[in-house]
Amino acid sequence: MRMWMVPVSKMCRKHLLGEHVEIHMLVGTILRERSIEGYIKNDLIEPKSIYKRHQEIVEEMLKRGYNHNSPLLEINFSSKVIKPYLEHKVDSKKSYLDLIIRCKDCRDLK
């Protein structure tokens, strides 16, 4: 699971929809009280931004004419599985470099 945290307009269809699904999976993980520590250590997720980021992605999806029919369930930010990591921020410059190294379609959206 990865929250790229790069501007949504710079993401190809595959990566935009991929991050969207992964945010839903991340919420599921937190609701099941599974540890997210590994994702934090690898700088893959930004817990505090889950809902804002989901909203931005959904707006971009609708703008591009994709569907969104899945409400994002509510998580409790004071749960022990998420609370210690609330201040973690993804290094979005590094993340963007990872993305464009890996994906030509994202690279072309510059």
Interface with Zn ion (CB under 5 A)? 12, 15, 70, 103, 105-106
Residue closer to Zn ion by CB (options 28, 38) is 28
CB of 5 to Zn ion, least distance (A): 14
End-to-end CA distance of the chain: 24
Residue closer to Zn ion by CB (options 8, 106) is 106
The structure tokens listed for 85 are 């990591």
CB of 21 to Zn ion, least distance (A): 8
Is the CB of residue 36 less than 8 Å from the CB of residue 45? yes
- Report the C-alpha dihedral over residues 8, 63, 39, 35, rounded to 10 degrees: 160
CB of 106 to Zn ion, least distance (A): 3
Residue closer to Zn ion by CB (options 40, 109) is 109
Question: Cα separation of 55 and 20, whole Å?
Answer: 10
